[in-house]
Amino acid sequence: MATIAARAEPFGPAAGEPPHRLTLTYQRLMLMLLIFAGVTFLILSRLLFLQVFTDRGGSTAIANPLLPPRGDIVDRNGIPLARTIEAWTIGLRPRDVIGNRGEIARQLAELMPEKSEAQYRAMLGSDRTFIYLRRRALPELVQAVNALGEPALVFSQEPERLYPQTALAGHILGWTDLEGHGVAGMERVLEDRLMDPARRGAPVSLSIDSRVQSAMEAELAAAVTAQNAEGAAGIVLDVRTGEVVAMASAPTFNPNSTGRADANSLYNRATMGVYELGSVFKPITVAAAMEAGVVRGPGQMWDAASPVPVGRFRISDDHPLGRAISVPEILIHSSNIATARIADQMGAERMQAAFRALGFHEPAYIELNERTRPLWPSDWGRARVLTSGFGHGVAVSPLHLASAYAALVNGGLWRPATLLHRADNVASPRGRRVFSEETSNRMRQYLRMIVTDGTGRRGDAPGFRVGGKTGTAEKVTSGGGYSARVNVSTFAAAFPMDAPRYVVVVMMDAPQGTEANSFVTTAAYAAAPIVGRVIARAGPLLGVIPDASRDIDVSDIRPYVASAQH
């Protein structure tokens, strides 16, 4: 047995030293051990936790991918009018180019011919960080550019606003800027609603019926081309709710590429354009006079034999009748003289009140921002009162007129026009009573007779019981005067007259005499046939089935109309 003799001093408590020093060392060691063990345990448990509880799919963290970055806009039947899609974008980082710049520029010019080779070379050589080469590129193009193999060409999918119906209802929809914010039309009006994360999942439903809108736009475009007109506007309005079923302005533009549209086509003639609309005001004047008691019955005779002198001017008729005429005859023959006499008896106060009740003194009631204040005269002298009776001196938009005609035929209630679809279970606004029920019923008969016996014959659509009034105004030229040859021809109609459902207004801006309108630019030839065609196309779509065996009863006013004229 070997014996090791060594000094045990360092290991054992020395006699001279205090015993706690070694204990302290042990304690420190122990602490270190515990800390290490603890850290290791923490790491291990964390690893274990991660191993057990981590969802390897990792999909719960993704926000709802079906929630579009901007809400859809659909028409009243759910047909999408505006959507946000993921579109390919081709970009360029000029600093990262490694290939031959000239070669790449040549190939890019081949693939995307909208810019020249020289332009591409300049872009490749610029010192900017990033340049968009093409937004909303087709996948085939992206594939072809990718095949060039240049790392400086980058691709990404970015949300882009797409209008699947292209130019359809462009004036109503408006468009968005590159950041995806609405800058015009309903895109601008509904900006908050479309971007709200809580609500953008559900599409916004407009009151537009795209089939009717399409019919209206097609007919307007055809008419503008055929009559060589400056433009045109058309509106279909639901008389019971104030919903705008179609609102078109020609020429149209494609909101998918607003940058390429010219200013004339961006101009919405239905709400932004204010025009002196002419004789279409006559039914409004007559109805207001019936309310005021100036016109007491259909048999009341008004002198239309001689022109009415007003200051230096004389108000005369295009086709003088040379006799006293009854109230339905005033409208059927569109007599300026007799209407001026009615307006004269009404006086400035009551005429103004009638127009104000229909909102002719303020911008049209609609959601759009693109609307103009009517030209509401400041002085209401006798000449102004008399001419306003047949639609001169007060300039309003076609939408004003459509709302007014809706009030004229729907029983006398004026309602603000709206572009938002009102669900079936939501009651339409009460409206403001402008005309009495009797006046409205009487006006329906008059309007129907204008179409069956008067100037609106070409606006009839067989079986649809159309009633309406033509209006041909001389357009104010840039010089300030009226031009006899340049007209604004309007036809304001409603159908079916026995129970009015829709108002249709078509306005032709400066049509020229062509074969399409028999070389006559008045409303009877320029605007009325378009209304007839639109009603024939859109009526069945809107649930109005033509019926030749049905019509409004006009037998009680028939005796007051001399039948020699037709």
Partner 1 sequence: MSTKSFRSVGWVAGVGAAALGCYMLSLQVAAERAELAAVERRIVAARQQIRTLQTELGTRGRLQQLEHWNAEVLALSAPAAGQFVENEIVLARLETRGSGELAAGAPVRMASAETGDGPVAAQPPVRTAAAPAAPAPATPTVRRASLATPAPTPAARPIAAKTQAPVRTAGLDARTTRAIGEAARAEARPTRPPRTAAAATPARTASATTPGTSRPERRPSEAPARTSAKD
Catalytic residues: 279
In 477-527, which residue ranges form alpha helices assigned H by DSSP?
Answer: 523-526
**Site size with partner 1, rule: CB under 8 A:** 42
What's the per-residue H, E or C state across 68-79?
CCCCCEECCCCC
Q: Hey, is 452 helix, strand or coil?
A: helix
List binders of partner 1 among 220-259 (CB under 8 A): 222
Q: Which of 3, 4, 53, 543 binds partner 1 (CB under 8 A)?
A: 53
**Shortest Å, Cβ 461 to partner 1:** 8
Q: Which of 60, 425, 478, 563 binds partner 1 (CB under 8 A)?
A: 60
**Shortest Å, Cβ 80 to partner 1:** 6
Nearer to partner 1, 412 or 463 (CB): 463
Which DSSP state fits 276? E
Peptide bond into 164 cis (omega under 30): no
Asked whether position 7 contacts partner 1 by CB under 8 A, the answer is: no
Asked whether position 166 contacts partner 1 by CB under 8 A, the answer is: yes
Q: Are 486 and 513 spatial neighbours (Cβ–Cβ below 8 Å)? A: no
Q: Are 107 and 145 spatial neighbours (Cβ–Cβ below 8 Å)? A: no
Asked whether position 58 contacts partner 1 by CB under 8 A, the answer is: yes
**Shortest Å, Cβ 205 to partner 1:** 16
Q: How far apart are CA 345 and CA 327, in angstroms?
A: 14
**Shortest Å, Cβ 535 to partner 1:** 9
Nearer to partner 1, 382 or 537 (CB): 537
Q: Which residue bears the tokens 């005859």?
A: 329
**Shortest Å, Cβ 539 to partner 1:** 8
Asked whether position 56 contacts partner 1 by CB under 8 A, the answer is: yes
Per-residue buried b or exposed e for 105-114, using 16+ beta carbons within 10 Å of the residue's own CB: bebbbebbee
Asked whether position 207 contacts partner 1 by CB under 8 A, the answer is: no
Phi, psi (deg, nearest 5) at residue 467: -130, 145
Question: Where are any strands of DSSP class E within 302-449?
Answer: 302-303, 308-310, 313-315, 324-325, 395-396, 413-414, 432-433
**Shortest Å, Cβ 451 to partner 1:** 15
Nearer to partner 1, 173 or 395 (CB): 173
Taking CB under 8 A as the binding criterion, the range among 206-214, 267-275, 372-380, 391-399 that sits at the site for partner 1 is 206-214
Q: Which of 477, 540, 556, 559 binds partner 1 (CB under 8 A)?
A: 540
442, amino acid identity: R
Question: Where are any strands of DSSP class E within 26-96?
Answer: 73-74, 80-92
Q: Which of 3, 54, 425, 555 binds partner 1 (CB under 8 A)?
A: 54
Asked whether position 462 contacts partner 1 by CB under 8 A, the answer is: yes
Nearer to partner 1, 214 or 258 (CB): 214
DSSP per residue over 120-163, as a string? HHHHHH---S-EEEEEEE-HHHHHHHHTT--TTEEEEEEEEEE-
Q: How far apart are CA 220 and CA 171, in angstroms?
A: 14
Q: Are 431 and 415 spatial neighbours (Cβ–Cβ below 8 Å)? A: yes
Q: How far apart are CA 137 and CA 155, in angstroms?
A: 10
Nearer to partner 1, 168 or 331 (CB): 168
Nearer to partner 1, 401 or 536 (CB): 536
Q: Which of 210, 227, 334, 517 binds partner 1 (CB under 8 A)?
A: 210
Angle between helices 528-541 and 210-227 (to 10 degrees): 160
Give the pairing type, strands 204-205 and 73-74.
parallel
Asked whether position 180 contacts partner 1 by CB under 8 A, the answer is: no
Peptide bond into 94 cis (omega under 30): no
Q: Which of 122, 123, 167, 499 binds partner 1 (CB under 8 A)?
A: 167
Nearer to partner 1, 79 or 499 (CB): 79
Q: Are 98 and 150 spatial neighbours (Cβ–Cβ below 8 Å)? A: yes
Q: Which of 83, 193, 422, 432 binds partner 1 (CB under 8 A)?
A: 83
Asked whether position 69 contacts partner 1 by CB under 8 A, the answer is: no
Asked whether position 57 contacts partner 1 by CB under 8 A, the answer is: yes
Asked whether position 164 contacts partner 1 by CB under 8 A, the answer is: yes
**Shortest Å, Cβ 342 to partner 1:** 36
Asked whether position 47 contacts partner 1 by CB under 8 A, the answer is: no
Taking CB under 8 A as the binding criterion, the range among 38-46, 266-274, 407-415, 539-547 that sits at the site for partner 1 is 539-547
Question: Where are any strands of DSSP class E within 174-323?
Answer: 204-205, 231-238, 244-250, 275-276, 302-303, 308-310, 313-315
Which residues touch 459 (CB under 8 Å, ≥6 apart)? 451, 466, 468, 470, 491, 493, 524, 527, 528, 529, 531, 532
Q: How far apart are CA 459 and CA 508, in angstroms?
A: 14
Q: Which of 105, 533, 542, 554 binds partner 1 (CB under 8 A)?
A: 533
Asked whether position 33 contacts partner 1 by CB under 8 A, the answer is: no
Asked whether position 59 contacts partner 1 by CB under 8 A, the answer is: yes
Q: Which of 66, 426, 427, 564 binds partner 1 (CB under 8 A)?
A: 66
What does the per-residue mask of binding to partner 1 show for 96-125, with x meaning CB under 8 A? ------------------------------
Residues that bind partner 1 (CB under 8 A): 52-60, 65-66, 79-80, 83, 85-86, 162, 164-168, 210-211, 213-215, 217-218, 222, 462-464, 533, 536-537, 540, 545-549
